[in-house]
Amino acid sequence: MVYSMTAFARSQSETERFQLVWELKSVNHRFLETHFRMPDQLRGIEPGLRELARAHLKRGKVDCAFKLDRKAGEVTIELNRPLLLQMLAILEQVRRDAPEISSPNPMDLLRWPGMLGDSGSIDEPEIVPASRSLFEQALTDLLAHRQREGSGLKTAINERLDDIDTIIGELKSLTLNIPHELQSRIDGRLTELKASIDPARLEQEVALLAQRADVSEELDRLAIHVEEARSNLSGPGPHGRRLDFLSQELNREANTLGAKSVLARASQRVVDLKVIIEQIREQVQNIE
């Protein structure tokens, strides 16, 4: 099964007092990297959730955000009176040392971190199991999304591998005429220069040029890499790194083909081949 590294999932539920929401976003990455954003009171369950994600995901950067909102009527604001008294005592001391300083604005005091809070507690027995169960549901949805995306990527890559096979067949047909094409070019050049050359020497030169322009090995290796890519896509995975390596090898062979090409039509098809390989490389970057 081919999985994409790009996906999104959202799951939500509620208890008597709270609304719970998990949002999971996944993008491509060389390794598996998980980031959790959740209330500090629930940080104790993070290691278990991280291991759960690691058990199902192999690669990708995954952002996991947990929102815990109280229902309407459940929130009451409380003043942190000890902190307020401490702040007022400090300000009184400052005014004694610097009488020119004006009295503080009450709203500025209320904005001080920790000055205001809500009276409710999230230490409900059902919050921890509910949040974990909801995370499992979101993770299942994320995997399903990654699978759907991966299926599309697999189809797209297989179509491009078919295109490469077509180009390989065309190049094999074109390269069969290379010796004849080289012979014609040399004969034409000699005619233009009104020069003559020993037939045996001419035959040797044509054979040498044809040998240098021979691309049969490169075409064979291209075909092997294409078949290996198909086999990898049909295997159990993970697929991404192997396919990335194969796309590099395909590009290497295409570059060699371009360097050896002596026919205009063949050069054009090599350019088309490079475009297709680059498309495969871009798609592979999103595969797990």
Q: What is the pLDDT of residues 103-152, one digit of tens each?
A: 778 888 888 877 776 545 555 567 889 999 999 999 999 999 999 999 99
Tell me the whole-structure pTM to 2 decimals.
0.71
Give residue 178's pLDDT band: very low, low, confident or very high (50, 70, 90). Answer: low
At residue 186, the pLDDT reads 58
Q: What is the DSSP string of 148-162?
A: HHHHHHHHHHHHHHH
213/258 Cα distance (integer angstroms): 10
44/35 Cα distance (integer angstroms): 15
At residue 153, the pLDDT reads 95
> Which DSSP symbol is given to 66?
E
Close Cβ partners of 118 (under 8 Å, ≥ 6 residues apart):
70, 75, 76, 77, 78
Q: Is 84 left (phi over 0), alpha (psi -120 to 50) or beta?
A: alpha
Instruction: State the helix-helix crossing angle for 264-284 and 240-260, rounded to 10 degrees.
Output: 170
Mean pLDDT, residues 18-38 taken together = 94
Q: Is 87 left (phi over 0), alpha (psi -120 to 50) or beta?
A: alpha
Express as a percent the part of the chain with pLDDT over 90.
49
How far is residue 211 from each of residues 47, 205, 262, measured CA to CA in Å?
62, 10, 12
Residue-range domains of the chain with CATH: 7-74+125-145 (3.30.230), 77-118 (no CATH), 149-284 (1.20.140)
42/198 Cα distance (integer angstroms): 89
Give residue 177's pLDDT band: very low, low, confident or very high (50, 70, 90). Answer: low
Cα 144 to chain centroid, rounded = 17
